[in-house]
Amino acid sequence: MTTYVVTIPGTLLAERTEASTETLQRALRPADPRGTRLGEEEHLEMLTFYSGSSAFSIRLEVEADDTESAERQARETVGAALRTAGYSQDEAPLGDAVITGITE
């Protein structure tokens, strides 16, 4: 197994509250990339909202056999976390997953 850092962009089309953001961060915490060697060196933030917009990116650490599996697992994790925070798929569409780091 290989450790991948996967970045997934998205846009919130519903209202973002402090409570929903905290819930989202808690739901994503097990996949926080700051626990990896790459994440520590690069000071990666798990959840970034871009100022003045509803656009965001989420960086996750996943263990997988290949990049396709890593991207799929990351999308599933992000989708589940967004649902936990109260956002439907229509309220938080996601862009393409991108592998932004690999450690073995």
Over residues 15-36, mean pLDDT: 84
**CA-CA-CA-CA torsion sign (17, 22, 24, 25):** positive
Over residues 19-25, mean pLDDT: 93
Q: Is 85 helix (H, G, I), strand (E, B) or coil?
A: coil
* pLDDT of 101 above 90: no
DSSP 29: G
Would you say domain 2-103 falls under CATH 3.30.1950.10?
no
pLDDT the model gives residue 39: 46
DSSP 81: H
Across 21-80, the runs of DSSP E, i.e. the strands, are: 47-49, 55-64
pLDDT the model gives residue 29: 87
Distances (CA, A) of 16 to 20, 38, 73, 82: 6, 29, 25, 11
pLDDT the model gives residue 43: 59
Phi and psi, residue 97, nearest 5°: -75, 145
Strand pairing report for 55-64 and 98-103: unpaired
Residue 4's region, left for phi above 0, alpha for psi from -120 to 50, else beta, is beta
Lowest mean pLDDT segment, chosen from 42-51, 56-65, 77-86, 94-103:
42-51
* pLDDT of 67 above 70: yes
pLDDT the model gives residue 36: 52
pTM (2 decimals)?
0.86
pLDDT the model gives residue 14: 94
Lowest mean pLDDT segment, chosen from 8-17, 32-41, 55-64:
32-41
